[in-house]
Structure 1
């Protein structure tokens, strides 16, 4: 069977998991997509120095489309805190665009190590955060508009460099610092994840189209299309289901299970 078709079929299953987690926890899914693609894309004989740009670009492109489905579902359930969304979206949008350009000049090996360390830290954060009770909804954020924009710019840069939507950074920030209800923080994260991924994808697409890199067939810019199509085929269907479960089910056990998954993923990247 042709390699591109094998990758497409594997990414179908990946997409179902990504879509469900995106709807359930407000994460873009990059923490799952990136390590899987790191293992899959070398099968295309891609040159090592271009592996991470292609992995990250493909992950962000998949997050864009998955986030649309998740965002619409959260909007219908009134989980989007509109009162400070302009600051969040403006900050992460600019950060995501900047990160897409920075990644093109950062060595691939450094990005892989950075991602593995980041995954470990987020696993610890999710495990510890599962013990904390949800906070009460507030009418206004405790942070000033300037601080929100600056912090969200940093989140956008990091998320774009790692090929993730930023939810694992934004949700803890909104619940612990801004004192926002968990479900509304997840809704805000869905909106932010869409903007980060969209801006990051533009950066990667522009960098890839202007690059002289020798990339595998079926690659547009730095986006590997068979993996992208496989992921979004089922993630778009699974995302609304994840949102529905999040409305009815405590996320404590699921967060801890996901933290264990992150540890395994990080260890696999480091030792491979």
Structure 2
């Protein structure tokens, strides 16, 4: 029975990471609702398991992009500290979260962001200039908090935030988002472990599935054109937004 649960977690983590790495998010938006709503895991178990898959997904996807020279690491190193710091606060306050209200607000945000992304035209300006540094900081701080609060990695905020506020290209936004989620998920997971959420077999299964899914998904994402990637992000975020809006009613 335990082996069956672990095998199911590996498969779910693989699929979650596959989809997540293509969209620049961790994959927790798939893993958490399925593991809690269908597999019957408690949130105290499901969220850190999700962060385990997000961590391995981010590592695998970022390594793949670096090996293919599809990502410039150095300009984004300064974003790690502010994002990771707020992820601790998110993990500590997750028990007080009023999920239905938050899902409605967050779902509305995602739907609005996806509509704005569909309206943009052409390659976005690369956002390494100092004028966009403050906006990037706001995005990663908010994403770090959300990451450990819901176990979703933070990419749900970072990808549209980077594209709309920092004028990054869709491709760069996906790569930077996935790089940062590796650190936010690691910090959040450590905080959960310190609070007593310790289920190593499930976390290891989620980590293994996320590692393979991130490798496959990132290779697919690298081959997509800018237009295809932006369309995939918009459609994916629309689906996530609709789920968040409707899930409190189900």
Give the C-alpha shift of residue 29 in structure 1. Answer: 0.8
SS state at 2:99 partner: helix
Query: Which digits, 9 at most, give the CA deviation of each residue in 1:144-191, with x for residues without a partner?
Result: 46x644542222112210111111211222222222222122111111
Query: Which digits, 9 at most, give the CA deviation of each residue in 1:121-151, with x for residues without a partner?
Result: 3244234423423303244242346x64454
Aligned length: 246
Query: Which digits, 9 at most, give the CA deviation of each residue in 1:184-224, with x for residues without a partner?
Result: 2211111110011001111111112xxxxxxxxxxxx2x54
Decide whether the 8 Å contact of 1:131 with 1:252 is kept in 2: no
Decide whether the 8 Å contact of 2:92 with 2:191 is kept in 1: yes
1:96 paired residue number: 87
Decide whether the 8 Å contact of 1:141 with 1:178 is kept in 2: no
1:201 is aligned to 2:176: no
SS state at 1:238 partner: helix
Taking the aligned partners of 2:199 and 2:244, their CA distance within structure 1 comes to 23
Q: Which of these residues, 98, 114, 126, is aligned with residue 137 of structure 1?
A: 126
Q: How does 1:177-196 map to 2 (within 5 A)?
A: 177-196=165-184
Taking the aligned partners of 1:271 and 1:139, their CA distance within structure 2 comes to 42
SS state at 2:131 partner: coil
Unaligned ranges ≥5, structure 1: 45-50, 209-220
Cα 1:226/1:82, change in 2 over 3 Å: closer
Decide whether the 8 Å contact of 2:136 with 2:166 is kept in 1: no
Unaligned ranges ≥5, structure 2: none
Q: CA RMSD in A?
A: 2.6
1:261 is aligned to 2:239: yes
Query: Which digits, 9 at most, give the CA deviation of each residue in 1:77-102, with x for residues without a partner?
Result: 33434454233111101011221122
Decide whether the 8 Å contact of 1:66 with 1:236 is kept in 2: yes
Decide whether the 8 Å contact of 1:127 with 1:255 is kept in 2: no
Which is further off, 61-70 or 249-258? 249-258
Taking the aligned partners of 1:127 and 1:138, their CA distance within structure 2 comes to 21
Taking the aligned partners of 2:39 and 2:210, their CA distance within structure 1 comes to 20
Q: Which of these residues, 68, 76, 80, is aligned with residue 71 of structure 2?
A: 80
Decide whether the 8 Å contact of 1:18 with 1:32 is kept in 2: yes
Decide whether the 8 Å contact of 2:48 with 2:203 is kept in 1: no
Cα 1:120/1:257, change in 2 over 3 Å: same
2:21 paired residue number: 23
1:153 paired residue number: 141
Taking the aligned partners of 2:101 and 2:127, their CA distance within structure 1 comes to 38
Tell me the TM-score normalised to structure 2 length: 0.84
Q: How does 1:17-56 map to 2 (within 5 A)?
A: 17-42=15-40, 51-56=42-47
Please list every run of at least 4 consecutive aligned residues from structure 1 whose deviation after the TM superposition is greater than 6 angstroms. none
Larger Cα-atom Rg:
1
1:217 paired residue number: none
Cα 1:94/1:263, change in 2 over 3 Å: closer
Decide whether the 8 Å contact of 1:26 with 1:189 is kept in 2: yes
Which is further off, 115-124 or 72-81? 115-124
